[in-house]
Amino acid sequence: MSISPIERAGDTAGQFTRSLLRIDPLLLLGALGLTACSFVTLRGAGYHSEADKQLMYAGGGLLVALLISRFDYTLLREYRYFLYGLMIVLNLAVFGFHSVNSAHRWIPFPGFEFQSSEFGKVLLIVSLSAFAVERSRRLSERATLARVMLLGLVPAMIVMGQSDLGDALVYVVIACAILFFLGTSWKHLTALAALFVVSGAIVLGVAPALGLHVLSSYQLQNLTTFINPPATCNATANSTGYQLCQGLIAIGSGGKTGVGPVHATQAVFGFLPAPDTDFIFAVISESYGFAGAAIVVSLYALLIWRTLRIVTMSKNLYGTLVAGGILGWFMFQVFLNIGMTLGIMPVAGVPLLLLTYGGSSVFSTFLAIGLLESIHVQARTASAGKARVLIV
Amino acid sequence: MTPQLALRVAIVGSLALIMFAAIFFRLWFLQVLSSGQYTAQAASNIIKHVTIPAPRGEILADDGTPLVTSAEVPAVEIAPQSLPVPLNLSDIEAHPGSQPAKDYAVYSELAKLLNISTKPQSCKFIIYYTAGPKQYSPRLAQIPCLVAQGIANSQYANVTIKTDVSQFVYDYLQERLSIDPRLQGVVPTEVYLRQYPYYQLASQVFGYVQPLESTEVHDPNFKGANSSDVVGQTGLEYEYNQQLMGTDGYEAVKVNSANEFQGYGKEKPPVPGANLKTSLDLKLQQVGQRALAESIAKNSYAGANSGAFVAMNYRTGAIYAMGSLPNYHPSTFTHPVSDKTWASLNSKASGDPLLNRAIDGPLPDGSTFKVITATAALQSGIWSLGDTYNDTGEYVFDRNEPCTVPGNCLHNSGDGASGVVNLEQAIQVSDDVFFYNLGDLLNQGDELQVWAHRYGIGEPTGVDLPGEASGVMGSPAYVRSLDEQEKECETATGIYSYTNGDGVFSAKPEAGLHPSPLQPNGCGIALKGGTSTWGPGDNVNAAVGQGYDEVTPLQLAVVYAALANGGSIVTPHIGEDVQTASGTILQRIDPGIKRNIGINPVYLNAILEGLHAAAQSPGGTSYDVMGSFPRTVYGKTGTAQVGTDEQIATNTEADDAWYACFVPSAKRPIVVVVSVEKGGFGDVAAAPVAREILSQWFLGRPGKYVTGTATTGKNST
């Protein structure tokens, strides 16, 4: 434990105020700004109750995040087995409940549906980082790479079993990000990358040719359509292509300043698929144009910049890995979702952080923000302690 | 922070930078550079245009009387996309012979209301693929059949089930529509229908209208027409379709992604079609048609069954009246035409009522041709004014052989002999032997053919009507070309179709084509083996408008117009101008004079003298009809032998009657040509019709039918 003796001596109330003062205000500002954008967009598109609920989830998430920031995240290392186990159990539990569109993703609670894979991301980051820290002294061993990767791949396979390809990829990316910031040698990373390329080629190309379908045909279509989009927006030909194309029409027709939420016919008249979730960025682009989209993208840039900064600040390796895992998660989801809407990335169905309507996703994101703030507070406190020691 | 971590953070930071740069560039490209294109697509997503058809312009007589008009009438349509189970082309392809039961419920409700049969019958429609058309012929009741045909023709347009429904049915549908689910997809509407206040008047000249078919979309006359539009298929309706059609408007309807109505957008009102003012004289047209019908009826004992007439301004080519019998009622085509009706309209048995005999279906014009022979003989110098010929009643080809040798001798009609005659007298009495002689003399060169072509025989007159025939002027080259066609046909290995006036034949049996009934003797285009040759007999026949000669009444009118106006070949036309509803002229139609044939006025005078004597001097071929007419008439009868060689030889087929005449007038110049097929002698069947037309034109009343009795002017062997 690395809490300084001076801190320990202070009274609790002062400690809380001090830790509040030591949070990263810009990170919080980014998260709150995006929440506000989500609220405005959802209301504008006619999703009034969703907008209100979204605000409620975000409010709850903010409180929890502030609470977490007050605690030392390093404590979580002790509970790594429990947290990892919890993640596996939660992700397996969804199979016991009814499916929606042949996908098992939710555990129904009275009043809300709990999406395990979203919480699983936070749990995976904190537990996997802890396992990685344990192996940090045996970095050159292949087993380190294999173990960490395996611990990431197991839940990823479970999530893929839930028909949630996007979130499964997020799990893999988190594992890779942790390995990357752990300091895994370039040689190992290259081998890992080569492994991904080969398995990707097998899943997308060789296996279907041999009649073995790892991915469902619609998942395959989702992944490949953006490379060869259909020439016309025809609803019957290729549903993925139709959705992408309608999304592009929405974005393009927004122009520089947008057509306003009332005249956003692509969203209001139902041409955009999932305007409150996967395609919400297209709604923003149509209603508020390049200006609105640029504000949102800038807020993400802010969020990612601050997260990157926290990676560098962390007082210990565990903090670096947790922040790095979160960074990988955020970057991957933002780029995959916006890239999909813009037609430059495959359709993998990941939510857009904080903008997409959904309690589990918003809440998990705020949990991550809380962890980041905790790392920030701890780092600031540690450096302040060092400084004070120096002065004294 | 270790240097290694710093490097890795820098790598991830750069990745993030690249990522955001990519997003910004892509956003800029989509939202700023390509915005216009996407805005248009977004608009086209929600705006659906519902065509508002433009009313078709009217066809007016020379005094502005509407002859063909448009009126709005209630109609019932089905919108295939709005049926309980929406239908589109792929549904029809998958199940051509059946449609969903829920849709049938709508059909049966509608059938009850509109009194339409629900008995299944053969239903033909064609779907066009890139590979080619495919015909379907399932058994369907009338309404599903119309729906299938409509979708096959144009899959997004509404299908007209019935036009001209009663106002009661229309009101009932309007009222029940929103509350009765059994009427889902039914659209009560109003459509413009062509109206014909004078019924069958000049029906082939006006032509008929029908909905645009998918095979017709590339026709330049239909440019700009929508799939639901009605377009002119024949006659003036086709020729001036672009002007008459107008521009459809549309009603913009906003829909959501499920095609549900969300509101109205901008509306573009239709631009009504312009009116076509013609040179047709309503009274003259009526009189001509009635007189022709009367003549056909009077001479039906001889076999008269059809005919045509043209009355034209010989100076400008403006057509005052043009008719062809039998005719049809154009309103037949404002409703869907059954296969049976269509077959009957196109059959020889019912006299080909769609055929405009004034411009199509050329026939030998008999002695009316003699003016051309006379011109050629005088101009070429083989005959001089004052030269005489002793008509002994027979023309002998080979003086060393007796007349008992078949084909060696030709006789005058009625087998008389005129004695010594000059050219003027020969025209007056229509002396055949005289003209046989000229034909023989002219066979030394090609002057007869040259002058016939100058007069316009063998080429279309250029009248503003579709489907005009060129006619034929017999010549050695023409006979050679027939021989070549015959040879080609006889040696053809695949389908070989050709027309010899009796339809389309094929060298091999083929669906829709028949092997030639003349097969044992070749294809029947020329002699078997293509061995026909041109001889003096052919030119002798040509000199009296027989043999290969084929002329339309309109072509003959142009010939006589040239005689009347001093040698100018006019371009006949019916359209005078295109004008707006309020009378503002948009386009004048004045095709002008084609050429001058350059006939010596002295020769022309001699011919005119003969023509005047023929009409109004005792002994003239049409004196008993035209002699008493109170104007100077120049006229020539024609009695053309038709049928197969055998029929001509045995004289078992009734002759075609012709009459061509003109009356010089400074204010009301007119040339009239009448032909009555199988009417017998020109003076008996054709001249009386011409007299009634002239009487109406100059005296304002047709007068009584003056029957001719002269039986001369017929060419006989």
Q: Residue type for B659, please? A: Y
Spatial distance between the Cα atoms of B135 and A302, rounded to a whole number of angstroms: 65
pLDDT band at B264 (very low <50, low <70, confident <90, very high): confident
CA distance A255 to chain B (A): 4
pLDDT band at B82 (very low <50, low <70, confident <90, very high): confident
* In the predicted structure, residue B651 carries a pLDDT above the cut 60: yes
B368 Cβ contact partners less than 8 Å away, ≥ 6 residues apart: B545, B556, B636, B637, B638, B658, B659, B660, B673, B682
Q: How many residues does chain A have?
A: 392
CA distance A290 to chain B (A): 6
What is the per-residue pLDDT for B505?
52
Q: Residue type for B77, please? A: E
Spatial distance between the Cα atoms of B365 and A245, rounded to a whole number of angstroms: 69
CA distance A189 to chain B (A): 12
Q: Counting one residue from A and one from B, how many pairs have CB atoms under 8 Å apart? A: 120
Residue of A367, A375, A361 lying closest to A322 (CA atoms): A375
* In the predicted structure, residue B414 carries a pLDDT above the cut 70: no
- Residues 310 through 329 of chain A touching chain B, CB cutoff 8 Å: 311-312, 320, 327
Q: Which residue of B has its CA nearest to A316?
A: B1
* In the predicted structure, residue B712 carries a pLDDT above the cut 60: no
**Chain B residues within an 8 Å CB radius of A253:** 35, 38-39, 41-42
Spatial distance between the Cα atoms of B182 and B535, rounded to a whole number of angstroms: 76
| Mean of pLDDT values over B576-604 | 93
What is the per-residue pLDDT for B506?
52
What is the per-residue pLDDT for A3?
46
Contact A255 B256 (CB under 8 A): no
Asked if the C-beta of A173 comes within 8 angstroms of chain B's C-beta atoms, the answer is no
B555 Cβ contact partners less than 8 Å away, ≥ 6 residues apart: B362, B456, B457, B461, B471
Contact A255 B31 (CB under 8 A): yes
Relative to beta strand B132-136, strand B125-129 is antiparallel
pLDDT in tens, B36-53: 888 888 888 788 777 788
Residue of B472, B591, B475 lying closest to B532 (CA atoms): B475
| Mean of pLDDT values over A357-365 | 93
* DSSP three-state, residue A224: helix
CA distance A108 to chain B (A): 31
pLDDT in tens, B171-193: 888 888 777 888 888 988 888 88
pLDDT band at A64 (very low <50, low <70, confident <90, very high): very high
pLDDT band at B501 (very low <50, low <70, confident <90, very high): very low
Task: Spell out which chain B residues touch chain A, with contact meaning CB-CB distance below 8 angstroms.
Answer: 1-2, 4-6, 8-9, 12-13, 15-16, 19-20, 22-24, 26-28, 30-32, 34-35, 37-39, 41-42, 45-46, 254-258, 262
Asked if the C-beta of A265 comes within 8 angstroms of chain B's C-beta atoms, the answer is yes
What is the per-residue pLDDT for B580?
92
pLDDT band at B483 (very low <50, low <70, confident <90, very high): confident
**Chain B residues within an 8 Å CB radius of A255:** 31-32, 35, 39
**In terms of C-beta density within 10 A (0-12 exposed, 13-18 middle, 19 or more buried), how is residue B495 classed?**
middle
CB B391, CB B433: distance < 8 Å: yes
Asked if the C-beta of A307 comes within 8 angstroms of chain B's C-beta atoms, the answer is no
Q: Which residue of B has its CA nearest to A282?
A: B27
* DSSP three-state, residue B445: coil
Kind and range of the H or E run holding B39: helix B35-46
Residue bearing the bigger pLDDT, B329 or B412:
B329
Asked if the C-beta of A239 comes within 8 angstroms of chain B's C-beta atoms, the answer is no
Count CB atoms within 10 A of the CB of residue B115: 9
Among B30, B32, B89, B261, the residue to mutate for chain A (most A Cβ within 10 A):
B30
Q: Cα dist. A143→A188, B19, B169, B623 in Å?
A: 11, 32, 85, 126
Kind and range of the H or E run holding B23: helix B3-28
Contact A181 B22 (CB under 8 A): no
**Chain A residues within an 8 Å CB radius of B15:** 331
Contact A269 B257 (CB under 8 A): yes
Spatial distance between the Cα atoms of B426 and B611, rounded to a whole number of angstroms: 10
pLDDT band at A9 (very low <50, low <70, confident <90, very high): very low
Residue of B233, B458, B470 lying closest to B361 (CA atoms): B470
Q: Cα dist. A96→A90, A91, A160, A347 in Å?
A: 10, 10, 16, 27
Phi, psi (rounded to 5 degrees) for B64: 90, 0
Q: Residue A16 corresponds to which tokens in the numbers above?
A: 């809380």
Q: Cα dist. B42→A237, A259, B36 in Å?
A: 19, 11, 10
Spatial distance between the Cα atoms of A372 and A383, rounded to a whole number of angstroms: 16
The DSSP code for B431 is -
A12-26, A135-149, B577-591: which range is least confident on average? A12-26
Contact A251 B46 (CB under 8 A): no
What is the per-residue pLDDT for A318?
95
Contact B31 A305 (CB under 8 A): no
Asked if the C-beta of A153 comes within 8 angstroms of chain B's C-beta atoms, the answer is no
Kind and range of the H or E run holding A80: helix A80-93
What is the per-residue pLDDT for A12?
61
Tell me the Ramachandran region of residue B106: left when phi exceeds 0, alpha when psi lies from -120 to 50, beta otherwise.
Answer: alpha
pLDDT band at A76 (very low <50, low <70, confident <90, very high): very high
**Global pTM?**
0.69
Q: Residue B510 corresponds to which tokens in the numbers above?
A: 């083929």
CB B716, CB B411: distance < 8 Å: yes
CB A216, CB A232: distance < 8 Å: no
Residue bearing the bigger pLDDT, A173 or B515:
A173
Q: Is the ipTM of this complex over 0.95?
A: no
**Residue A344 is nearest to which of B26, B34, B258, comparing CB atoms?**
B26
What is the per-residue pLDDT for B173?
86
A347 Cβ contact partners less than 8 Å away, ≥ 6 residues apart: A222, A223, A225, A226, A240, A243, A244, A340
CA distance A333 to chain B (A): 12
* In the predicted structure, residue B494 carries a pLDDT above the cut 60: no
CA distance B524 to chain A (A): 56
Sheet holding B634-640, edge to edge: B319-325, B306-312, B670-677, B656-663, B634-640
Relative to beta strand B186-195, strand B209-211 is unpaired
Count CB atoms within 10 A of the CB of residue B85: 15
**Chain A residues within an 8 Å CB radius of B255:** 269
Average pLDDT over chain B, rounded to an integer: 87
Spatial distance between the Cα atoms of A292 and A250, rounded to a whole number of angstroms: 13
CA distance A256 to chain B (A): 6
B157 Cβ contact partners less than 8 Å away, ≥ 6 residues apart: B51, B150, B226, B227, B228
CB B487, CB B529: distance < 8 Å: yes
Q: Residue type for B214, please? A: S
State the helix-helix crossing angle for A317-341 and A359-391, rounded to 10 degrees: 140
**Chain B residues within an 8 Å CB radius of A183:** 2, 4-5, 8
B601 Cβ contact partners less than 8 Å away, ≥ 6 residues apart: B566
* In the predicted structure, residue B541 carries a pLDDT above the cut 50: yes
* In the predicted structure, residue B512 carries a pLDDT above the cut 60: no
A329-343, B108-122, B397-411: which range is least confident on average? B397-411
Spatial distance between the Cα atoms of B68 and A306, rounded to a whole number of angstroms: 81
| Tally of helices (H runs) and strands (E runs) in chain A | 16, 2
Q: Residue A208, preceding bond cis, omega within 30 degrees?
A: no
Relative to beta strand B59-60, strand B275-278 is parallel
* In the predicted structure, residue B320 carries a pLDDT above the cut 70: yes
pLDDT in tens, B658-680: 999 999 999 999 999 999 999 98
* In the predicted structure, residue A237 carries a pLDDT above the cut 60: no
Relative to beta strand B504-506, strand B306-312 is unpaired
